[in-house]
Amino acid sequence: LLSRRKNEAPNSPFPDDPTSRGSLWAGIKDDAEAALLEYVGTTMFLLLAYGGVQAAATEAGVSTTNSVVERSVTVALAFGISLLVTVWLFYRVTGGLFNPDVSLALLIAGVIGPVRFVFYCIAQLVGGITAAAIVYALTPGPLASNTFPGPGVNKAQAVFIEMFITSALVLAVLMLAVEKHNSTPFAPIGIGLTVFVCHLWAVIFSGCGMNTARSFGPAVVTGFPYDTQWIYWLGPFLGSLLGSAFYKAMRMYATSAYPC
Amino acid sequence: LLSRRKNEAPNSPFPDDPTSRGSLWAGIKDDAEAALLEYVGTTMFLLLAYGGVQAAATEAGVSTTNSVVERSVTVALAFGISLLVTVWLFYRVTGGLFNPDVSLALLIAGVIGPVRFVFYCIAQLVGGITAAAIVYALTPGPLASNTFPGPGVNKAQAVFIEMFITSALVLAVLMLAVEKHNSTPFAPIGIGLTVFVCHLWAVIFSGCGMNTARSFGPAVVTGFPYDTQWIYWLGPFLGSLLGSAFYKAMRMYATSAYPC
Amino acid sequence: LLSRRKNEAPNSPFPDDPTSRGSLWAGIKDDAEAALLEYVGTTMFLLLAYGGVQAAATEAGVSTTNSVVERSVTVALAFGISLLVTVWLFYRVTGGLFNPDVSLALLIAGVIGPVRFVFYCIAQLVGGITAAAIVYALTPGPLASNTFPGPGVNKAQAVFIEMFITSALVLAVLMLAVEKHNSTPFAPIGIGLTVFVCHLWAVIFSGCGMNTARSFGPAVVTGFPYDTQWIYWLGPFLGSLLGSAFYKAMRMYATSAYPC
Amino acid sequence: LLSRRKNEAPNSPFPDDPTSRGSLWAGIKDDAEAALLEYVGTTMFLLLAYGGVQAAATEAGVSTTNSVVERSVTVALAFGISLLVTVWLFYRVTGGLFNPDVSLALLIAGVIGPVRFVFYCIAQLVGGITAAAIVYALTPGPLASNTFPGPGVNKAQAVFIEMFITSALVLAVLMLAVEKHNSTPFAPIGIGLTVFVCHLWAVIFSGCGMNTARSFGPAVVTGFPYDTQWIYWLGPFLGSLLGSAFYKAMRMYATSAYPC
Ligand SMILES: [Ca+2]
Ligand SMILES: [Ca+2]
Ligand SMILES: [Ca+2]
Ligand SMILES: [Ca+2]
């Protein structure tokens, strides 16, 4: 179980091991270049995803036969499949995290260093704002992609839903992309489908952030119309810790007698 | 056809061959650790799946334009894609069975031993209860994930539907994950899509258990509101036997003159 | 382009080359055993697919909000994903054709011999009848899976639609499964998705047979209620010829100067 | 990052490097043969896709419960999955571009030469016309597959949406198919899903051309009923340039100090 093979260059998403550098700042030029590309990737991921949300909202305004079920499935497809393809594209370039909560998990796992972590978080948050602004500029009507708790869902429930779905995403990244095995090159498929199925559950209940950059971008562009933005910072943060802790626990079993 | 290559460690879901142990209890610490992780995996699988069912039911209560067809497809996506991703995550850790009826098939096939079978069944049943309790706690309204026969479907019909769909799942696990070939690392995709397509058929007719742990969890949390719980023990049990028997028959042909 | 590597045993769907036998009847025991397993596979494919069609029809009778679009998509998913998973399961056992028109294409391509072709066609047609009978027995209401031309579609149009979609399926089998390349072990995914997308077009117009066994089974069980059964024999037959002819043409380019 | 391995014959979609020829016209016979097959492939891709659009429009005319959301998702599935499977079929034969704007990107990237570029563009445009004519001939009612900006969307917005989604497609082709890595044989899956998710956004807003051949074919068959055809030439052209420029920029980082 869980042997991380280093230096597997051609297909490793993280061939540059920051922990082996002479100093924290030795790779800063690489970190900055990677963050720039991560910014483009996050923008592309969220542009296609917010675009799908905007389309579903516009279509629901056009006719009276659209249902809430089919809108949720469409939003789930927009986020899940957009992440699937954009992670696939950027996987061997920047890792394709597109999410500060995933960045945190990779910092905890020792895959990226603290400098790259900070650069990536900034790139991802600015990418979310950029994508929301582009969708707002290119489509009629108000921006439809803000996240907020659904009717009958209290704030604690929304935080815990966000925590659970983010931990699922973090675990998918750690088990499918960071761990090396035969299907590692196909991790983007598993990661994208994880986000898809989490949306099926959470869109109607918590709004389904599971990514602080995804919730922050539309909130900035629309002037923070909801006072529940903190939910999408706290819940995914806790989910990142939960996923990372479970991953560490599994690796401990692995280094002990458990033979898988 | 069907040559099982043992000791294919790095990507085998079942690298620990229980039949080669000195005694039945020699690997009990491994069995207990694996069962603990299988408990977490089953909880994660059913949390995301029950969550999707709960969302579809809540969305159907919000508007009058939701259709029964789209609700069934959404439930099918929630179970199929949740299983796809969670099996992928736990595949090389515990095997990712998440289902007592699949555990039975692997016991019959000699992939797991009787001690691990019992531990896994307990872990899976408790995982179902845990997942149902979490969804119940985190979402408004009554729990929506109980299974029961649909209108116009008698109990014998429901048992046979459950038998056929469970045998399809069992056969998918045996042919895609237990048998070793080029696409074995991708077995979770085939297994998840098998569960998806079985749901398209069975949700409206039998409720689509095809996994005793999946039907047992919500029944426990809601106090067994239906007197048809036995269907989801008998039908999948028969399906596990049917799938295992067909698999054995195919392997017999393989060891005789049939050259595939 | 298109170099067929023989004797690639462990993952080849057709390891037994009938053209290299001493006589036509030398492998008859193998042919009969393979046909028996092909019968089970065809039954499994069509059981899950007809089941999904039956569910969509039943769900449409339960409420007034179901739409024709979502029913067609559900039928497409039932046939496409059922074929995807069942071909995957039977790929290395019998080839997983499940379709007399695909059998014809493999006879023309020299992948199976005339004896196995006849055995397979019988197995596939009887498998279709078996699957239709099981769905009829296990679900309430009349069987919903007959194929017939939609409103406004004349018989010639239906024949040509059936021809085009069957040629797409035949070409997918020849290019993805018969041709050997890196993604050959994943041919079932491409074949299943081909059937899915053909259904999106053809369900409403021609009924979407694209497989004589698929159209014959429900017709037998329901006593041939439509006088257009011949369309689902002629159209797919022409499609099998068209796909095979295009494949032969491509291989001729390949053996001449064209370098791909 | 981004090392292009030449001469990787058996699975390379572009094994014939036109830049290494003695003269521009040396490979003209190969170019013509490839263009003929590319014509068939484009026709097959758009036949299945236009067919799905026609079906969704016909189904929407049959009942009043069809929703705009589910029609958009169906159209997205028709284009995305049709491209996925047809690219997979023609990948190792012609590259499976099926799109003049993708052809332009491959010309810029040096993967195809100017003669093949011109031949491919002609083949793709004629393929679009052929597919539109076949769907028109085989189905009742007017052809439904024209692209035009949706209500409330101005022409500049439509151009920019077309530019962004085409750049996503172009980048998918360059990063998944032209770049060589473990998942290159599966590039058709990523390319098809990119087109799927772009449709989720763009169908309602810009009509979702993202391929001049796809927009040109139905316009020719229906006599150019909209005066916005130029949008589907300009937008995708700009998208092809944008995607190619970003790809070049990434490769520059790659040849400098950036280690991924
Ligand atoms: Ca706007
Ligand atoms: Ca509750
Ligand atoms: Ca609907
Ligand atoms: Ca017409």
Q: What distance in Å separates residue B67's CA from the closest CA in chain D?
A: 9
Chains A–B, number of C-beta pairs less than 8 Å apart = 148
pLDDT of residue B156: 98
Q: Is pLDDT at D102 greater than 80 in this prediction?
A: yes
Locate tokens 């799938």: which residue? B243
pLDDT band at A27 (very low <50, low <70, confident <90, very high): confident
Candidates A11, A37, A66; nearest CB to D181 = A11
Q: Which chain D residues contact residue B67 at CB under 8 A?
A: 65
For residue A39, what are its two tokens?
Answer: 């910014």
The alpha carbon of B224 and the centre of ligand 3 are apart by a number of angstroms equal to 32
Question: Is A157 near chain B, with CB under 8 Å?
Answer: yes
pLDDT of residue B21: 54
Residue bearing the bigger pLDDT, C28 or C81: C81
Candidates D30, D49, D185; nearest CB to C182 = D185
Task: State the DSSP H helix or E strand holding residue A30, giving kind and residue range, or none if neither.
Answer: helix A28-62
Q: D110 with D174: CB under 8 angstroms?
A: no
Q: Name which of B178, B122, B119, B142 is nearest B58 in CA terms.
A: B142
pLDDT band at D196 (very low <50, low <70, confident <90, very high): very high
pLDDT of residue C22: 58
Mean pLDDT of C219-247: 98
The full DSSP string for chain D is --------GGG-S--S-GGGSSSTTTTHHHHHHHHHHHHHHHHHHHHHHHHHHHHHHHHHHH-S---HHHHHHHHHHHHHHHHHHHHHHHTTTT-----HHHHHHHHHTTSS-HHHHHHHHHHHHHHHHHHHHHHHHHSSSS------PPTT--HHHHHHHHHHHHHHHHHHIIIIIIS-STTGGGHHHHHHHHHHHHHHHHTTTT----SHHHHHHHHHHTT--STTTTHHHHHHHHHHHHHHHHHHHHHHHHHTT---
Q: Name which of A134, A124, A72 is nearest A97 in CA terms.
A: A124
Q: List all chains that touch chain D, counting a touch as 3 or more CB pairs closer than 8 Å.
A: A, B, C
pLDDT band at B15 (very low <50, low <70, confident <90, very high): very low
The alpha carbon of D153 and the centre of ligand 1 are apart by a number of angstroms equal to 9
pLDDT of residue A186: 96
Rounded (10°) angle between helices D68-90 and A28-62: 130
pLDDT band at A260 (very low <50, low <70, confident <90, very high): very low
Disruptive mutation site among C14, C29, C85, C116 for chain B (greatest number of B CBs within 10 Å): C85
Q: What distance in Å separates residue A86's CA from the closest CA in chain D?
A: 8
pLDDT of residue D61: 86
pLDDT band at C101 (very low <50, low <70, confident <90, very high): very high
Residue range A28-83, pLDDT digits in tens: 888 999 999 999 999 999 999 999 999 999 998 888 888 999 999 999 999 999 99
Q: What distance in Å separates residue A116's CA from the closest CA in chain B?
A: 26
Comparing B139-143, B247-251, C79-83, C222-226, the range with the smallest average pLDDT is: B247-251
pLDDT of residue B64: 86
Could you give the percent of chain C with pLDDT greater than 90? 79
d(CA A129, CA A143): 12
| Residue B227 CB contacts under 8 Å (≥ 6 apart), including other chains | none
The alpha carbon of D221 and the centre of ligand 4 are apart by a number of angstroms equal to 11
Residue range C107-125, pLDDT digits in tens: 999 999 999 999 999 999 9
For residue D173, what are its two tokens?
Answer: 């082709």
| Residue D9 CB contacts under 8 Å (≥ 6 apart), including other chains | D15
Q: Is pLDDT at D95 greater than 70 in this prediction?
A: yes
Q: Is pLDDT at D170 greater than 70 in this prediction?
A: yes
Categorise residue A147: left if φ over 0, alpha if ψ from -120 to 50, beta otherwise: beta
Q: Which chain C residues contact residue D85 at CB under 8 A?
A: 168, 172, 190, 193-194, 197
Question: Is C8 near chain B, with CB under 8 Å?
Answer: no
CB within 8 Å of chain C, chain B residues 176-195? 176, 181-183, 186, 189-190, 193-194
Q: What distance in Å separates residue D94's CA from the closest CA in chain C?
A: 7
Q: How far is it between the farthest Cα atoms of chain D? A: 62
pLDDT of residue D251: 83
d(CA B14, CA B38): 13
Could you give the percent of chain C with pLDDT greater than 70? 87
pLDDT band at C10 (very low <50, low <70, confident <90, very high): very low
> Rounded to the nearest 5 degrees, what angle is found at the Cα of D48, between the Cα atoms of D45 and D54?
135
Residue bearing the bigger pLDDT, D82 or D26: D82
Tell me how crowded residue D92 is: count the other CB atoms within 10 A of its CB: 24
**Looking at the CA of C63, which ligand is closest?**
3
Comparing B41-50, B84-93, B120-129, C60-69, the range with the smallest average pLDDT is: C60-69
Q: Which chain C residues contact residue D77 at CB under 8 A?
A: 73, 196-197, 200
For residue A248, what are its two tokens?
Answer: 């560490």
Q: Is pLDDT at C5 greater than 60 in this prediction?
A: no
The alpha carbon of D78 and the centre of ligand 3 are apart by a number of angstroms equal to 17
Q: What share of chain A is helix, strand, coil (3-state, %, to 5)?
A: 70, 0, 30
Mean pLDDT of B150-171: 98
Task: State the DSSP H helix or E strand holding residue B192, giving kind and residue range, or none if neither.
Answer: helix B187-202
Mean pLDDT of D213-225: 98
d(CA B55, CA B53): 5
Q: Is A254 exposed, middle or buried (CB count within 10 Å of its CB: 0-12, 13-18, 19+)? A: middle
pLDDT of residue D252: 78
Q: Is A182 exposed, middle or buried (CB count within 10 Å of its CB: 0-12, 13-18, 19+)? A: middle
Q: Name which of A93, A102, A126 is nearest A191 in CA terms.
A: A102
Residue range D107-162, pLDDT digits in tens: 999 999 999 999 999 999 999 999 999 999 999 999 999 999 999 999 999 999 99
For residue B108, what are its two tokens?
Answer: 């019959």
Mean pLDDT of C64-90: 96
Categorise residue D66: left if φ over 0, alpha if ψ from -120 to 50, beta otherwise: beta
Mean pLDDT taken over chain B: 89
Closest-CA residue of C relative to D32 is C258
Give phi and psi for C152, each to the nearest 5. 85, 0
Q: Which chain A residues contact residue D81 at CB under 8 A?
A: none
Candidates C1, C69, C253; nearest CB to D66 = C69
Chains A–C, number of C-beta pairs less than 8 Å apart = 4
The alpha carbon of B143 and the centre of ligand 2 are apart by a number of angstroms equal to 6
Q: List all chains that touch chain A, counting a touch as 3 or more CB pairs closer than 8 Å.
A: B, C, D
pLDDT of residue A17: 46
Candidates A63, A73, A189; nearest CB to D68 = A63
Q: B232 with B148: CB under 8 angstroms?
A: no
Residue bearing the bigger pLDDT, C252 or B187: B187
Ligand 1 is a single-atom ion; what residues have CB below 5 A from it? A 136
> Do A181 and B11 make contact, defined as CB atoms within 8 angstroms?
yes
d(CA B167, CA B236): 8
Mean pLDDT of A242-248: 97
Mean pLDDT of C125-138: 98
Q: C171 with C246: CB under 8 angstroms?
A: yes
Residue range B207-226, pLDDT digits in tens: 999 999 999 999 999 999 99
Mean pLDDT of B69-78: 97
Q: Which chain A residues contact residue D161 at CB under 8 A?
A: 51, 138-139
> Is the dihedral angle over the CA atoms A211, A213, A216, A218 positive or is it negative?
negative
Q: Which residues of C21-49 are buried (b: 16+ CB within 10 A; e: fewer)?
A: eeeeeebeebbebbbbbbbbbbbbbbbbb
pLDDT band at B97 (very low <50, low <70, confident <90, very high): very high
d(CA B27, CA C102): 49
Q: Is pLDDT at D19 greater than 80 in this prediction?
A: no
Q: List all chains that touch chain B, counting a touch as 3 or more CB pairs closer than 8 Å.
A: A, C, D
Q: Which chain C residues contact residue B157 at CB under 8 A?
A: 137-139
pLDDT band at A136 (very low <50, low <70, confident <90, very high): very high
Question: Is A23 near chain C, with CB under 8 Å?
Answer: no
Q: Using alpha carbons only, how large is chain A's radius of gyration in Å?
A: 18
pLDDT band at B250 (very low <50, low <70, confident <90, very high): confident
> Do A72 and B70 make contact, defined as CB atoms within 8 angstroms?
no
Categorise residue D141: left if φ over 0, alpha if ψ from -120 to 50, beta otherwise: left
pLDDT of residue C13: 44
Mean pLDDT taken over chain A: 89
d(CA B195, CA B203): 11
Q: Which chain A residues contact residue C77 at CB under 8 A?
A: none
pLDDT band at D256 (very low <50, low <70, confident <90, very high): very low
Q: How far is it between the farthest Cα atoms of chain B? A: 62
Residue range A139-172, pLDDT digits in tens: 999 999 999 999 999 999 999 999 999 999 999 9
For residue C82, what are its two tokens?
Answer: 């059922």
Question: Is B250 near chain C, with CB under 8 Å?
Answer: yes
Q: Is pLDDT at D48 greater than 50 in this prediction?
A: yes
Q: Is pLDDT at D188 greater than 80 in this prediction?
A: yes
Q: Name which of A34, C227, A96 is nearest D259 in CA terms.
A: A34
> Rounded to the nearest 5 degrees, what angle is found at the Cα of C31, between the Cα atoms of C27 and C33?
120
> Do C59 and B66 make contact, defined as CB atoms within 8 angstroms?
no
Q: Which chain B residues contact residue C66 at CB under 8 A?
A: 67-70
